[in-house]
Amino acid sequence: MTAQPQIASPLEPVPQLDLSAQYAAIGAEIRTAVERVMSSQQFVLGREGAALEEEIAKLCGVTHGVGVASGTDALILALRACGVQAGEEVLVPPFTFVATGSAVSALGAKPVFADIRPDTYNIDPAEFERRVTPRTRAIVVVHLYGLAADMDPILAFAKARKLPVIEDNAQAIGASYKGRRTGSLGDLACLSFYPTKNLGAYGDAGMVVTNSAKLAERIRTLRNHGQSEKYRSTEPGWNSRLDEIQAAILRVKLRHLSNWQRARQSHAAEYNRLFSQIPGVMPPLAPEGFDHVYHQYTIRVEQRDALQKFLSQRKIGSTVYYPYPLHLQPLYASLGHKAGDFPHAERAAQEVLSLPMYPELRKEQIARVVETVAEFLKC
C-alpha cells in the first residue's frame, strides 16, 4: 500500500488578546467570588466595592479610591470635581481614545490639544506654553499603552499656573515613573477596568484615585446623584457606581496582576530581542526610570495597513490604537483643525500597530509574529 502524504496542519491563530486563556486559569476563583456576592444580595455600594477601593488605592500609592461605573465616568467626575465648567478649556493629547476628549466635552468644556512626543506617544509638555490660555482649567495626561508620560515637566508647568493635573491611567495600572506609581502623580487619576485592560472586569467599571480627602468625598457625592446624605442632594450628580459583582471579580484578578505584569514585561523583552535584528521596525520605548506595563506592545512601521493585512492573512491578530487623532475626528470638526496641525499625532496614527500581547502568550507565538513581520518587510 502506498503511504499517504502528510497534510500540514493549519497554523494556529495568534489572537491580539486572549481573555479565554486567562479565564481558564482563574475561572474557579471568579465563580467563587461571584457566588459570594449573590449570597450576600448586596449589589451596590457594599463590602466588595469598599475593599477594592482600598486595594486599588494601595496599589497606586494613594490614600483614596472611589469606584465608578466606567473609566469614562471617572474622567468626567474627576474633571467636575476639579471645577471644570462649560466654556472652559482643558489641555489633552490628540493621540488617545476619544473618551479622553469627550469627557471634557460632556461638561460643555473645550478640549485643547497639545501634540505628543514621537518616541513615547505621550503628551509633550513643551507644547503647553503655546496652548494654554486664561480659560485653561486643567490638564489631562494619558499614560498611553502602559508607559507613563514625562510627569516632572508637566507637574512643574501645572504648579506654576495652579492647574490641576488628572492622570488618564486607564492603560497603565501598575506602571511607575521614577519610582512612583502612575495614579499617584497628579491631583486625581482615572482608571478603566474595561475587559481588555490589564486589570479588566467582566463589563464596564472604573475608579478615581487621589491623595485628597476633599476630592475623594466630592467624587463620592457626584457618583451617587449628588447626595451628601441619603435622599439629600446638594448638586446635580450622576448614577455611576461600581457594582459589587464587578468589584468582586476585580479583587480576584488583582491578586494575579503582578504576575501578569511580569509576564507582559517578559514578552516585551522577547519581542524587543527579536526585533533588534530586523530593520524597519520601531519597537516601544521604555526610557530609564519608566516601568512600562505593556497594556499594548505597539510597533511603528511605514506600511502599517499593508502589514496588518499580511498578518491577518496568516491568522495573526493586531489592532490599531488609534487610527484617527482626536483633532481630526468628526466630533471635533467644529474646532476647525486640519491635517498638519499636530504632525506627531497624525504620523503615529498612520504607523502604529499593536501586536499580540497578553500574559499567556507563548514564546513560540512571539517568534511567529516577529518572523511574519520580517517576512513582510522583505517583500
For 167, list phi and psi in degrees, rounded to 5: -85, 125
CATH class of 257-378: alpha beta
pLDDT at 1: 41
pLDDT at 190: 98
pLDDT at 11: 85
The DSSP 8-state label assigned to residue 338 in this structure reads -
Q: How far apart are CA 140 and CA 175, in angstroms?
A: 17
Query: Kind and range of the H or E element at 72?
Result: helix 71-81
Per-residue pLDDT in tens (0 to 9) along the chain, 379 residues: 444 434 334 689 999 999 999 999 999 999 999 999 999 999 999 999 999 999 999 999 999 999 999 999 999 999 999 999 999 999 999 999 999 999 999 999 999 999 999 999 999 999 999 999 999 999 999 999 999 999 999 999 999 999 999 999 999 999 999 999 999 999 999 999 999 999 999 999 999 999 999 999 999 999 999 998 899 999 999 999 999 999 999 999 999 999 999 999 999 999 999 999 999 999 999 999 999 999 999 999 999 999 999 999 999 999 999 999 999 999 999 999 999 999 999 999 999 999 999 999 999 999 999 999 999 999 7
Domain ranges within the chain, ordered by starting residue: 21-254, 257-378
**One-letter amino acid of 132:** V
- The residues with which 65 forms a beta bridge, in sequence order, are 209
Residue in this structure with the C-alpha cell 508607559, named with its chain if needed = 147
Q: How far apart are CA 94 and CA 73, in angstroms?
A: 19
Q: How far apart are CA 367 and CA 323, in angstroms?
A: 26
Cell for 91? 489641555
- Please, what sign has the CA dihedral across residues 158, 98, 267, 346? negative
Question: What CATH topology corresponds to 21-254?
Answer: Aspartate Aminotransferase; domain 2 (3.40.640)
pLDDT at 150: 98
Q: CB within 8 A of 317, min separation 6: which ones? A: 13, 14, 15, 16, 17, 311, 356
pLDDT at 10: 62
Of 56, 39, 37, the closest CA to residue 47 belongs to 37
131 and 92 Cβ atoms separated by less than 8 Å: no
325 and 342 Cβ atoms separated by less than 8 Å: yes
Question: What pTM, to 2 d.p., does this model score?
Answer: 0.95
